[in-house]
């Protein structure tokens, strides 16, 4: 028998400068590095600036829905991070002055909404100025009220529509 046939795997590893613990540690290190790489790639590709469930954004304004699209709400992700208009928003538009949304009011917190009722909201981007100095969010508005304000203020159009919620 040759010398290699009489040696145990541990003896071979020790001769090459490795012991079992180092091999396992190096293997785990590679696995951990791979997992971190996958997580980082997911965050870069799948996230919209820290919000996993962002469906639309313009500046600090975002449409988010945590569990289902029926929970779509408008938030401002600035210092306060507040919800401006609750579910269920089905359309949104914006320009440099305003964000506008169309909403079917939510029936419950699970994303069910009353599609027979539609409200409109006008959100002033500038919290300190604009035509609604006393209020940041104007609404809920009926369709005739919204159309009248739309004409007088030259509001943007609803450019993003979620047909499954309409």
The reported pLDDT for the residue numbered 66 is 84
**Are both 141 and 72 inside the same structural domain?**
yes
Residue-wise pLDDT tens digits, 120-151: 999 999 877 666 667 889 999 999 999 999 99
**Of residues 143 and 110, more confidently modeled:** 143
Region 18-37: mean pLDDT is 60
Judge if 38 and 82 occupy the same domain: no
Is the confidence at residue 2, as pLDDT, over 70?
no
What is the average pLDDT across 2-21?
Answer: 53
User: What is the pLDDT at residue 10?
Assistant: 52
Backbone angles phi, psi at 76, to 5 degrees: -110, 120
**What is the structure's pLDDT at 24?**
52
pLDDT score for 161: 96
Q: Could you report the per-residue pLDDT of 54-82, keeping only the tens digit for each?
A: 889 999 999 999 888 999 999 998 777 78
Q: Note whether 21 and 98 are same-domain residues.
A: no
61-64 and 73-76 beta bridge pairing: antiparallel
- Strand partners for 82: 76
Q: If pLDDT is split at 50, 70 and 90, which confidence band does 49 have? A: very low
Q: DSSP secondary structure string, 126-162?
A: -TT-SS-TT-SEEEEE-HHHHHHHHHHHTPPP--EE-
- Please check whether residue 166 lies inside any domain of the structure: no
Q: 94 with 156: CB under 8 angstroms?
A: yes
DSSP string, 91-136: EEEE-SSEEEEEEPPBSSTTS-B-TT--EEEEEES-TT-SS-TT-S
Average pLDDT, the chain: 80
Q: What range defines the domain where residue 82 resides?
A: 54-161
Residues 70, 25 share a domain: no
Q: How many CA atoms lie within 13 A of 67 on its CB side?
A: 5
How many domains does the chain fold into? Answer: 2
Q: Rounded to the nearest 5°, which phi and psi values hold at 92?
A: -150, 150
pLDDT value, residue 47: 47
Domain identity same for 152 and 84: yes
| Rounded Cα–Cα distance for residues 91 and 159 (Å) | 7
Q: Kindly report the number of other CB atoms within 10 A of residue 89's CB atom.
A: 28
Q: Are residues 31 and 59 in the same domain?
A: no
């Amino acid at each position: 028998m040759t010398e290699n046939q009489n040696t145990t795997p541990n003896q071979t590893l020790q001769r090459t400068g490795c012991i079992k613990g180092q091999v396992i540690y190096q293997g785990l290190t590679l696995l951990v590095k791979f997992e971190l790489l996958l997580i980082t790639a997911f965050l870069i590709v799948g996230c919209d600036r820290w919000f996993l469930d962002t469906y639309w954004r313009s500046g600090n304004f975002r449409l988010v829905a945590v569990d289902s699209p029926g929970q779509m709400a408008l938030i401002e992700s600035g210092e306060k991070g507040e919800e401006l208009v609750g579910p269920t928003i089905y359309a949104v538009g914006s320009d440099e002055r305003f964000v506008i949304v169309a909403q079917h009011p939510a029936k419950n917190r699970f994303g069910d909404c009353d599609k027979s009722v539609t409200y409109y909201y006008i959100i002033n981007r500038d919290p300190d100025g604009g035509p609604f100095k006393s209020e940041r969010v104007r609404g809920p508005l009926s369709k005739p009220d919204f159309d009248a304000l739309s004409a007088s203020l030259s509001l943007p159009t609803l450019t993003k529509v979620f047909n499954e919620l309409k």
